[in-house]
Structure 1
Amino acid sequence: MRNQHEDRDPRFRIARREAWIGVGLVLFNFLWWFGFAYGLGSSPAEEYRYIFGMPAWFFYSCALGSIVMMILVFVMVKVFFREVPLDEEEESS
């Protein structure tokens, strides 16, 4: 349900696209975390492998997952996000 202002202002289209990119990143982060946490962490604790003193499931889901997400967010912002003016005055000029 769009209002009349959204159709005339390209900033809304840009903001909508960037919001969908954010939603995609959140879904990817959840799938990464869930896959490693429950995939590797579903075995008995005696069978866990350890990386840097952490269970492998925790290392991959939380430690490595955080690093991967930081890199992905950085790349997405640098490549796909655009700076848009927020002042109404700049829009009309």
Structure 2
Amino acid sequence: MDPRFKISNREALMGIGLAVLNFIWWYAFSYGLGGKPVKEYHYIWGLPAWFFYSCVAGFIVFSILVYIMVKFFFTEVPFEDVPDLENLKEEKR
């Protein structure tokens, strides 16, 4: 089996995991803080707290997490056939 498939499968699972965490974050803040009557809402920068934490803060947090994941955990893989693909991992280190 081509080692690139193993790398791409690992990176795809990491991306799916991050997307699931993003949805959990959004859902928890949206429905956790947004389930109260409007009169009981707290506001941050003129936005309801549930919206701020779920959409604004969530976007910032997960943008940083995507950057960290790509920078430190993803591997650059050539698209063309390379006979010496086993050295790909050694070059990354």
More helix per residue: 1 or 2?
Answer: 1
Pairing partner for 1:16 from 6, 9, 18:
9
Aligned position for 1:76:
69
Please say if 1:54 is aligned against 2:30: no
Number of residue pairs matched by the alignment: 84
Pairing partner for 2:20 from 4, 16, 27:
27
Residue 86 of structure 1 aligns to a residue whose secondary structure is coil
Deviations 1:14-50 (A, max 9, x none): 0000000000000000000000000000000110000
RMSD between aligned alpha carbons?
0.7
Q: Which amino acid aligns with 2:20?
A: L
Residue 92 of structure 1 aligns to a residue whose secondary structure is coil
Q: Which ranges of 4 or more aligned residues in structure 1 deviate by more than 3 Å?
A: none
- Consecutive unaligned residues of structure 1, counting only runs of 5 or more, are 1-6
CA positional deviation for 1:68: 0.3
Q: Which amino acid aligns with 1:69?
A: F
Q: Which amino acid aligns with 1:92?
A: P
% identical equivalent positions: 57
- Please give the TM-score of this superposition, normalised by the length of structure 2: 0.88
Write the mapping of 1:79-90 to structure 2, written as runs, cut at 5 A: 79-88=72-81
Q: Which amino acid aligns with 1:63?
A: V
